[in-house]
Structure 1
Amino acid sequence: MNNIGKVLGFIFIMWMIQGILSYFQIKHFRERIRQLKKKGKILIGQQKGRFAAGSIVILVVDDKNNIIDAEEMNGFTVFNKFKKKNHIIGKNVEDAESIIANVRGKQSIKAIRKALEGVS
């Protein structure tokens, strides 16, 4: 096997591994949504990044639009998991500025704003 074949084989194997890991990340995402739906209404915001880490934010709100749970998955790779955002919990979704006041990262702020657009 020549060098080009080895390189193409390596690229194909890495592509397959990435596909498998993406499957497990999507499975984890769906499981988190299923678990969080039991607590209240779900708001999801996503901001993709080309040259910056992307962000997915899940907010759980009660019937008074207070955030009772918040999680974010942020990063470049398929190894990222959702992490609690305790500084957002307890705030009302109608006060967007107080929610994003302590949030770091443009992608995170954009994802939160997109999630808040889903409030009705």
Structure 2
Amino acid sequence: MWGTFIFIFTSIWALQFLLTHFQVKHYQSEIKKLSNRDNGFLGTGYYKKRFGTGAIIVLVCDEHSRITDAKIMKGITVFARFRNMKQLVGMKLEESKFVDFLPKKEHLALTGAIDMIKKEMNKRKGNEAWIS
């Protein structure tokens, strides 16, 4: 009886490990695709609860702070995949902060991605001024 229980528990744990590995590979490949551009900025934001659904948003914007690509991954399982967010494409970063079609958790992830892009923009501006 205990042997069967341990075998089932170990099998489920190994399956979870394997599926998590595939999800991480998917995340890395999406980030690599989005960051494989000559110019612009990439930012990721996330919302994570201990239990329940989470959300990851990846934004790409040009030098004029206009969003050129946006993707979201949300869910509670390892089967969650990135989906395009066409509603955000074409918006300025500042405009996107005030969208009302996102639930709170996704809006928090969006804000995190915007903040990351702004930090990168400021860092790049500082580096350009220092090099000149």
TM over 0.5: yes
* 2:68 is aligned with 1:65: no
The answer to whether the 8 A contact 2:88-2:96 is kept is: no
* Cα deviation, residue 96, structure 1: 3.9
Residue type of the partner of 1:65? S
Q: TM-score, normalised by structure 1?
A: 0.89
Say which one has the larger Rg: 2
1:37-91 CA distances to partner (integer Å, 9 max, x unpaired)? 1243111001112233100100000111110000000000001100000001111
RMSD (Å), alpha carbons: 1.3
CA distance in 1, matches of 2:10, 2:107: 36
Using the TM superposition, give the Cα deviation of residue 7 of structure 1 relative to its aligned residue in structure 2, in angstroms. Answer: 1.8
2:89 aligned partner, one-letter code: I
Identity of aligned residues (%): 29
Q: Provide the C-alpha distance between the structure 2 equivalents of 1:102 and 1:76, rounded to a whole number of angstroms.
A: 21
Could you tell me which residue of structure 2 aligns to residue 86 of structure 1?
86
Could you tell me whether the CA contact under 8 Å between 2:45 and 2:110 is conserved in 1? Answer: yes
User: Which amino acid in the other structure matches residue 60 of structure 2?
Assistant: V
1:35 to 33, 36, 49: 33
Q: Distance in 2 between matches of 1:92 and 1:70?
A: 12
Unaligned 5+ residue runs, structure 2?
Answer: 122-132
- Long gaps (5+) in structure 1: none
Per the alignment, residue 126 of structure 2 pairs with: none
- Residue 110 of structure 2 is matched in structure 1 by 112
Distance 1:66 1:107 in 2: 23
TM-score by length of 2: 0.81
Distance 2:51 2:26 in 1: 24
